[in-house]
Amino acid sequence: SLTGSPVTLKILQNWVPRVSHYFDKEHYTYVGHQIVIQESIEHFGAVVWPGALALSQYLESNQEQFNLKDKKVLEIGAGTGLLSIVACILGAHVTATDLPEVLENLSYNISRNTQNMSMNKPEVRKLVWGEGLNEDFPVSTHHYDFILATDVVYHHAALDPLLATMVYFCKPGTVLLWANKFRFSTDYEFLEKLSNIFNTTVLAEFPESNVKLLKATVREN
């Protein structure tokens, strides 16, 4: 069941309009750093979706509540990498994951925006939801303080593997932060399944963008 009353927020226009020859470059400012994101029109995962903006903004504004410094953070469905970059700037040890065809652009954005900074070097890895989790991310050596996921739920066939992946990585002590634009009934069905498994709280709502930001933790027996 869902607990707590969410704060109502607005996604701030944190990107900087630029006169640019490259229509595919977006400039953002978070935590005092300018971040330049290259988008790709070929893949879903290569565009910055509103959930990433919402969670980036929330983490920047709530550093006391969610202190990422030296924490192990896994982002699933990292897309263009904006949120992973923000988590790096906030001091986390970040592993950004996505499908193989997205990794080249993801790696480019992350390395470009985190090089020459005194921060923990982020890792970019392939992760296909529900596949090879034990082999690629064995529990004995891969424990994460935070799992980040933004706009991973939309009209696609991999919702059950996605939920299984969240369950796999969320151990006692792990905090899952999931921000999503709610468009379809399937989005709400996924939220219901999540709430049946985890302790789930709506932290914030961004009504103009139809984005909800949720926190989920493992139920302790």
Quick check: is 130 in a domain?
yes
DSSP designation for 35: E
- Distances in Å between the Cα of 153 and the Cα atoms of 32, 94, 99, 119, 189 are 30, 22, 15, 30, 10
Torsional sign, CA 100, 74, 93, 58 = positive
Whether the CB-CB separation of 173 and 219 falls below 8 Å is answered with no
Give the integer Cα–Cα distance in Å for 151 and 160.
15
Quick check: is 2 in a domain?
no
Count up the domains in the chain and report the number.
Answer: 1
Quick check: is 127 in a domain?
yes
Q: Which helix (H) or strand (E) holds 168?
A: helix 159-169
Quick check: is 187 in a domain?
yes
Q: Which helix (H) or strand (E) holds 213?
A: strand 211-218
Quick check: is 181 in a domain?
yes
The domain that contains 167 carries what CATH number? 3.40.50.150
Give the integer Cα–Cα distance in Å for 57 and 171.
26
pLDDT digits (tens, 9 = 90+) for 38-83: 887 666 666 788 999 999 999 999 999 999 999 999 999 999 999 9
Quick check: is 1 in a domain?
no
Q: Which residues pair with 84 in a beta bridge?
A: none
Residue 114, SS3 per DSSP? helix
Quick check: is 167 in a domain?
yes
Phi, psi of 210 (to 5 degrees): 60, 30
CA angle 78, 81, 86 (to 5 degrees): 115
- pLDDT by residue for the chain (221 residues), tens digit each? 566 678 888 877 665 544 444 446 788 999 989 999 988 766 666 678 899 999 999 999 999 999 999 999 999 999 999 999 999 999 999 999 999 988 999 999 999 999 888 778 899 999 999 999 999 999 889 999 999 999 999 877 899 999 999 999 999 999 999 999 998 899 999 999 999 999 999 999 999 999 999 999 999 86
Q: Which helix (H) or strand (E) holds 177?
A: strand 175-181
Quick check: is 41 in a domain?
yes
Per the structure, the complete domain to which residue 75 belongs is given by 7-218
pLDDT digits (tens, 9 = 90+) for 77-101: 999 999 999 999 999 999 999 999 8
